[in-house]
Homo-oligomer: A and B are copies of this chain.
């Protein structure tokens, strides 16, 4: 259990897990909208439909899917950058605040996306991306300044 004694690693593992679980939750949320609207992506998913119907599109389903895709664009990037930041042996306080702010911004992003709350959704996206870019900058600075 030696790595977890490092406060920054502990924070990364905690918030990283929270972000991944949040991302995984989008799958069942999509399925819930599919059953609510009875709009399915594959003919075999809906026993009531005729086999060769072109799949219809539901705006309620697509909204959850776009939110999920936005997670896929940002959360794996965070996990990679966070782990690489830890390799550079950063200040624990700075690292921990990066992890916290990112995780909270992504949780709020989902709430804002699913409820169509703008411009706060864009703001949450920008905060998350800024945290990612700040970590990238620190990693590259550490590499090239040493």
Contacts and interface: CB of A to CB of B under 8 A. Distances in A.
What is the total number of copies of this protein in its complex? 3
A77 B23 contact: yes
Contacts of A56: none
Q: Place the interface of chain A in its size category.
A: 35 or more
Contacts of A74: 24, 27
Contacts of A16: 80, 84
Interface string A76-94: 1101110110011100000
Q: Among the interface residues A3, A27, A66, A77, which one has the most CB atoms of the partner chain B within 10 A? A: A77
A68 B76 contact: no
Most buried by B among A28, A41, A76: A76
Interface string A83-116: 1100111000000000000000000000000001
Interface string A1-19: 1011000011001101100
6 contacts: A9-B87, A16-B84, A17-B81, A20-B80, A24-B73, A45-B118
